[in-house]
Structure 1
Amino acid sequence: MWKLLIVSLAILNFYGDCKSHKNWSRRDEANEISARKPHKHADPPDHTKLIPMARYVAHNCDWASLATISVLPAIEGFPFSNVKSIVDGSLANSTGVPYFYMSPLDFSARDLSKNSRATVLISLEETRYCETQNIDPEDPRCTRLILSGKMKKVKENTPEYTFAKAALFERHPDMANFPADHDWFVAKLKIAQIAMIDWFGGAKYIPVRDYLAYNYTGTEMLHYHNAHHRLHNKQ
């Protein structure tokens, strides 16, 4: 009886070790693939070039923190922050306007249905540039773009809706697989104020009209995604 029990325990331990090793192998493989993923090679503009820097951050980051006024009963009226995937246009056509793909079931959409005021925070750290330069995300040299205004739905069957939805799906292809019964819609921030921290000396404020009028021709994201797809196809 004891010999049978010892043999059984040995088999279980062996199986557990193999399973654990298999899981770690998968993690190592995932880390290896992640390490091989190309980074954006074009550095951001000089910090003295405020509008080019602001548009660079808006275009090159895939996600942002969206702050709204909560309608949750326990914290009604409190600020509430949520992570949202964003684009400011297609890979080759930047507008500076953040677009979102949202569902009425989401925290943020519920808040915005009662109060459309919002603030979008986009950090240069999302590109991992700050990390590669050994700059902490809170360091003022790690640019923070802060856009405040009112969120509004983009009307369906308009050129802007077609453009924005295509841009969202281009940058975030998983959106095509989001649950179809969640009543997804495209929203954008109508910007009222632009504040940016990109160096020592406090925040700088950028005129909205100048920010939107700037002809941003950077192709960093287009080159980055093309390189990533080429790498993916080789694997």
Structure 2
Amino acid sequence: MRAGRDGAAETPETAGAAEQEARPRDARVRRDAHDTVEAAVRAQLSKALGGVRGMLEAAAPVTAFTLTYVLLDEVRTAVFAGIGAAVVLLLVRVVQRSNPQFVLNSLLGIAIAAFFALRSGDAEDAFLPGIMLNAAYAVGLTFSILVRWPAVGFIIGSVTGDPTAWRSDPGIVKLCSRLTWLLVLPCVLRVAVQYPIYIAAGDQSGLLGAAKIGMGWPLQVAALAAMVWLLARGRTPIERPRA
């Protein structure tokens, strides 16, 4: 037995009640902010994509690389253009004191692409890491669906504060599986289109660049629109009423 804040004796029962009250409030706040699965997923997906600015920042370095190579036919110069575009965008974020996450992601992506291109001297190799990454995403996301742990479900877990409780509701599992399939589809389409171009004879860097840009944020926006449409059709409570 110990003294409470007001000097009164604190019993195990009152201590337990106090501890329950003092549990992390952020999970409760997140639940209050989104009372349905659909609302939570929409909010988290929008945050993950970074909005229009985040998607444009992801596309800018690749665009700079492709256009420079098509115009000058020089791999090293194209690499510098791509990295330079990412650095400029990062500096803008720093000056504005805004979140640089999406610029850093694009900078890392163009740095890896540059390594592949400079190592071989072929501009097409700059696009190989992206093809491999999309293939890995497609396999990983599909596997998560097949084992009934769809990746989108963890968005629900991040909102409720319990990463696995959503699996006890078959309706939520089914919804998350459908949403995860919509994330798989763009990855499969990118690989299906870009890999045959990559292995084709001749210099295909210009065509690869156009395919990567055209199947980048526009395809992501289309997938997001499909997810929003699917989410708009239902109102699945994040927490079921207790019996």
The structure richer in strand per residue is 1
Higher-helix-fraction structure: 2
**TM-score normalised to structure 1 length:** 0.29
